[in-house]
Each structure stands twice: as C-alpha cells, then as structure tokens.
Homo-oligomer: A and B are copies of this chain.
Amino acid sequence: MINDEKFVKLKTIIEKELLNVFPSNLDSYQQLITDAMKYSLISGGKRIRPILAIAVFELFSVVDDLSVKFLSSIEMIHTYSLIHDDLPSMDNDLLRRGKPTLHIEYGEDVAVLAGDALLNLAFENMIKIAIDSNGNNSYKYLKAMNVIASSSGYRGMILGQIADIKSEGIKIDKETLDYINLNKTGQLIKASMLSGAIIGNASDEDLKRVKKIALNIGKAFQIVDDILDIEGSEEKLGKTTGSDEVNGKVTYPSLIGIENSKKEVEKLSMNSIKILREINADTVFLEKLILFLINREK
C-alpha cells in the first residue's frame, strides 16, 4: 500500500499542503518555532488520518483544493499529540519516526510550545478555510471542525491520554483498555473519517455508516500497534519496540494473547469492509487502505 499509486499521491499532496502553511521571510524567532514545528510535522509519518479523511471524502464528492487543505490540518493535531506524549513527564520517548524526539532535538520548552503551536495552527488553518470557502460551505466546515475539536479534546483524545497515564503499572481490565484505545486513538480516527464525510456532503445514513466503520478501524489500528510493539522491528517502525512489555503495559496481546488479538483485528476490519460496501460509491481505495492498516509492516 505504501507503494500504491494513489496512496503515494495523496501523501505527497498532504505533505505539500503541510509545508505550504508556513510563510517564508521569517525573523529568527519565527524561524525557530517554525523549524521545530516542521521537524515533527515533516518527518516521515504515514499520514493515515488525513489520507483516511480524503478517502472518505472521495466516496461522496470530487476532491478539491480547500478540502485537502482542511483535512490535512488533522495531521497537525496528531503530530502535536505525539510531541506532548513523548515529553519526559509523559512517555519520555527518545525516538520517533526514526529521529530523536522534538524535546531531545530542541529542548523541552520548545517542544511544549511547538506542540501547542501545532494544535493552534490546526484550528487557525481550518478556520481560515471555512472563511475562504464562503457562504453555505462555511457551515459545512464548521460542522466538521466541531467533530474534530470535540474528538481531540478533554472528552476525546486528551481523555484517552489521561486514562492511559493514570493506568500505568496498573493491571487494568479489557473494558478500561477499550476505553483508553477508543479515546486515545479511536476518536481522532473517527473525527478524520467523519469530517471527510461531512465536507463531502454525505447523507445522514452514510454518516452513521462512516462512524461505525471508523470506530472499528480505530480499535483495530490500536491493536495492530500493540502487536507491532511485540513483533515489529525498530528499524522499519522507526520507534522503540518492546516498550509495552518493559513498562508492564496492559495491551490486547497481554490480555487475550497475540493470536486472539490478530483474530480480533481480522474481525474488526472485515466488519468495517462489510459496512463500507453498504455505501453506494467506489469503495475500492478505502478498502485497500483498511486492509493496509491491519497488515502494516513489521
């Protein structure tokens, strides 16, 4: 999939948009914060969330410039969450996407601020597009922003992070693990796909379908991450593996075993594809994308 023509094309477009956001002709302080933001933003991520968002958008509408710009903002939110998650007071990670984490490279103070700046920039960017789109479309973008904002906040992704750090070293049950995964990972994936559907003008029925698909994918995605932490190679993943076991972290593999985890992933992805096929659209690319997400490289 990483070599799939369309996947590569979308990834390239998204990365171009992410770079285009930043102006040139910067003074030295602007250069510093911009460099720090770009260091994490342009660092070989797979861009899963905006690609999912655009793939869903394309089920319902023909892709245009503003939509791509808008949906690329989700990657800024994802990236800020990684920067803050890596901080010494949080996961204290030294390596991310094969490079030293931002606080190692730029210092902890700049990493806190660059994370803040990326979250802020995501909204700045989405708001600007909602204004530029003018008239009726503004409202559509506002509705998408609403989903993104509530999914990434204290009742969404941040809630998942809180539950995660407060569960460290504790033998949590499956229900709590599902709660953490749903919020920490699932919510932003759900928001990506739903916002794609909203600005693609999906019907209410299809919005419900997309939501169901997203929740299945979000759950499967996190389980795959946990499996890769056991079976994956640091070289290919570009991050430290085996850390869950070292940290005594409860994961799907540790709760139900690695084979059952793989079966669960299989079930979730098949379920997603079943619902996806109920949508009257060309679902080929999104199906491929879903299968890729559960067969990521070790």
Contact = CB atoms under 8 A, between A and B. Distances in A.
Interface of A: 29-30, 32-34, 37, 80, 84, 87, 89-90, 107-110, 112-113, 115-117, 119-121, 123-124, 127-128, 130-131, 138-139, 142-143, 145-146, 149-150, 152-155, 158-159, 161-163, 165-166, 179
Contacts of A163: 29
B33 A113 contact: no
B162 A146 contact: no
A154 B33 contact: yes
A121 B89 contact: no
B131 A113 contact: no
Nearest to A179: B29
A140 to B, nearest CB: 11
Given A29-B179, A120-B154, A138-B138, 18 more contacts: A30-B159, A32-B162, A32-B166, A33-B154, A33-B158, A34-B154, A37-B154, A87-B109, A90-B112, A109-B165, A113-B161, A116-B158, A117-B158, A120-B152, A121-B153, A123-B149, A127-B146, A128-B146
17 contacts: A29-B162, A32-B166, A33-B158, A37-B154, A80-B116, A84-B113, A89-B109, A110-B162, A113-B158, A113-B161, A113-B162, A123-B145, A123-B149, A124-B149, A128-B146, A131-B142, A138-B139
Contacts of A29: 159, 162-163, 166, 179
Contacts of A138: 138-139, 142
Contact of A142 (B120, B130, B150, B154): B130
Nearest to A168: B109
A71 B32 CA distance: 31
Contact of A116 (B84, B124, B155): B84
